[in-house]
Amino acid sequence: MALYTWASDFPRGVLVCLLVGLLAGYLGGLVAYRIWWHPLAKFPGPKLAAASKLYETYYDLFDGPGGQFPAKVRALHQQYGPIVRITPEELAVDDVDFHIKLYAPQPAVRDKWAPITQILGTTEGTFSTVEHHLHRKRRVAASSFFSLANIAAAEPVLHKHIERCCALLWSQKDKPVELRVPFAALMFDSMYDMAFNDQLNSLTDLDIANQWDLTTDAISTFAPWLKSFPWSIKPFLLLPMNMVKKLSHKVARILQVSHRIRARTLRYLDETEKSEYKGSIRPAIVGRPETLFEVLQRRKLHDTEDELERLTQEGTELFAAAATPVRVLTAVMFYLLDRPETLAKLREELDAAYPDRMTIPTLKSMESLPYLINVVKEALRVAFPVGGRLPLLCREPMTFGNWIIPPGTPLSVNHRNLMLDPAVFPEPTLFKPERWFDNDLLAIEDRHYIPWGRGGRSCLGKDYAQGQMQMVLATLCRRYEFELVDTTYERDVKISREPFLAHASLDSRGVKIRITGLRG
């Protein structure tokens, strides 16, 4: 009360000036500390990046079309060298040996940097788990969903949705189709069916398919905002969906995915509660792959775990991850149609392996198709869909050259930088599947080819995604004749924005093709 009385005796203008002065003094002191006395003050990099995270926010949200911070970091490496301070508390390193030490350090411990886990708005899924040991337990629990046996069991599911995608494309014969739309529908339908034993049916109509493509864009382009302002999603969680839609279509799309998966999770838990399997593990359905629900229930981590929240968030992360193959498939179709000699070589291999053009390949049969494998491999390298960095924290000091990095420092090595290194991949942006027949390149493949990441934080679904992409590509190229329509590399394919996933320019009209007929 005395303090209030004392403060009330001051003119309001004086109080405001005093508060502003205190705030300015605090901010000035903080900036000075970060630039001159912070444990990372000795590391090279721009002073603005050392002073404030707003440096990153500017390049992510406001520079040109947005999503420019990864490109800025590459420019900083050229200016300052292989180790650069890119935010007040974070370092970026451009070195393959350091990448191996950071991302594949067994048995060393690596925690994830918390801000990067905010981009999907999840905290209980494997992707968003910060602490090393908890992440390892969650990863082991989810790993059998993507086991080779479960992927093989999912083959009829994949075939069903690929056939539906073909029917959708054929219904548009002689009309331009933007490929990302049906590919997004295919990937989301397949994953939803396999993971939740339920149907989205977005392949029934191009308009529905387009909604899922827009959702993919929303998840990716909103990620930098959530990374800079993670608290900003929380008010939306308290609002009804019709109000969220009025305030932000992007946020609404992201929340609708989570709400749909939560509803499916509730239905599954309710069905289990009412069934004979109440209180026990519900067995998988014969003739189908195990769903994500069945896998995670069998590997429940502890009795106090919130089952609804855990299943919902794992499902949301898994569903969102289905967006990445969409971009690779779209890009590889452009490259094949833009390079007729490469498409001809692929078709020669496919024609010999599958005399019937209507055949959808099996996963096993594609293991003996080296050119198909290398086409997808090269597409993953050139069109690597994840532009954002994935920082980890080491609990012990790390070294890089003569530098000693303090423990707890967020560290990252950009994957795209390594896969576009001209010293390893001559003409690195050139799509050239033949390069993978070079034994010298294969000898160093494990070091430089990392589209799925490395170590304990690498992509769990790599075998599933790679097999599905090969299957889709083989089916389309064996079955149909098609041509590019109103598509250019510079405008529609070249990566110019990296909010999290890699995007073409804002002027892009998408990769469009026209199916002209069936092949012989």
Tokens of 277: 């399997």
User: Residue 303: is its pLDDT beyond 70?
Assistant: no
DSSP-derived 3-state class of residue 383: coil
Sequence ranges of the binding site for heme: 459
pLDDT at 209: 79
Query: Higher confidence at residue 509 or residue 20?
Result: 509
User: Tens of pLDDT along 393-429?
Assistant: 999 999 999 999 999 999 999 999 999 999 999 999 9
Amino acid at 46: P
| Structural domains of the chain, ranges and CATH numbers in brackets | 136-518 (1.10.630.10)
pLDDT average, residue stretch 181-193: 94
DSSP-derived 3-state class of residue 112: strand
> According to the per-residue pLDDT averaged within each range, which of 84-93, 222-231, 445-454 is highest?
84-93
Name residues whose C-beta falls within 8 Å of residue 217's C-beta, 6 or more positions apart in sequence.
503
Question: For the chain, what percentages of helix, strand and coil (3-state, to nearest 5) are there?
Answer: 60, 10, 30
User: Tens of pLDDT along 274-293?
Assistant: 766 555 555 666 678 999 99
Tokens of 17: 């000036």
User: Tens of pLDDT along 19-76?
Assistant: 888 878 888 888 899 999 999 999 999 999 999 999 999 999 999 999 999 999 999 9
**Under 8 Å between Cβ of 95 and 415:** no
pLDDT averaged over every residue in the chain: 90
Q: Which residue in this structure is represented by tokens 């629990």? A: 141
Query: Higher confidence at residue 409 or residue 388?
Result: 409
User: Residue 354: is its pLDDT beyond 70?
Assistant: yes
**Under 8 Å between Cβ of 262 and 312:** yes
Other CB atoms within a 10 A radius of the CB of residue 442 amount to 12
pLDDT average, residue stretch 374-382: 98
pLDDT above 70 as % of the chain: 94
Distance (Å) of CA 495 to CA 15, 159, 391, 410, 505:
51, 31, 22, 26, 7
User: Residue 82: is its pLDDT beyond 70?
Assistant: yes
User: Residue 214: is its pLDDT beyond 90?
Assistant: no
The C-alpha angle with vertex 34 and arms to 234 and 108, in degrees rounded to 5, equals 75
Name residues whose C-beta falls within 8 Å of residue 516's C-beta, 6 or more positions apart in sequence.
173, 174, 481, 482, 483
Q: Which of 24, 20, 23, 22 is nearest to 12 (CA)?
A: 20
pLDDT average, residue stretch 282-305: 74
User: Residue 3: is its pLDDT beyond 70?
Assistant: no
pLDDT at 253: 84
Estimate to the nearest angstrom the gap between the alpha carbon of 464 and the chain centroid. Answer: 15
pLDDT at 222: 85
**Under 8 Å between Cβ of 252 and 244:** yes
**Under 8 Å between Cβ of 47 and 84:** no
User: Residue 237: is its pLDDT beyond 90?
Assistant: no
Phi, psi of 112 (to 5 degrees): -85, 150
pLDDT average, residue stretch 339-354: 98
pLDDT at 282: 59
Instruction: Indicate the burial class of 251 (C-beta count within 10 angstroms; 0-12, 13-18, 19 or more).
Output: buried
Name residues whose C-beta falls within 8 Å of residue 23's C-beta, 6 or more positions apart in sequence.
none
pLDDT at 116: 82
**Under 8 Å between Cβ of 39 and 50:** no
User: Tens of pLDDT along 152-164?
Assistant: 999 999 999 999 9
Phi, psi of 392 (to 5 degrees): -120, 160
pLDDT at 298: 79
Other CB atoms within a 10 A radius of the CB of residue 491 amount to 16
pLDDT at 24: 81
Give 282-291 contacts, CB < 8 A, sequence gap 24+.
Answer: 285/197, 287/156, 288/153, 288/154, 288/157, 288/197, 289/150, 289/151, 289/153, 289/154, 289/157, 289/194, 290/144, 290/145, 290/150, 290/153, 291/145, 291/194, 291/195, 291/196, 291/197
Three-class DSSP labels, 410-436: EEECCHHHHHCCCCCCCCCCCCCHHHH
Query: Higher confidence at residue 250 or residue 425?
Result: 425
Amino acid at 62: F
**Under 8 Å between Cβ of 50 and 92:** no
pLDDT average, residue stretch 81-92: 98
**Under 8 Å between Cβ of 216 and 189:** no
Sequence ranges of the binding site: 459
Q: Which residue in this structure is represented by tokens 């390193």? A: 93
User: Tens of pLDDT along 306-330?
Assistant: 688 888 999 988 888 888 999 999 9
pLDDT above 90 as % of the chain: 66
Query: Higher confidence at residue 12 or residue 368?
Result: 368
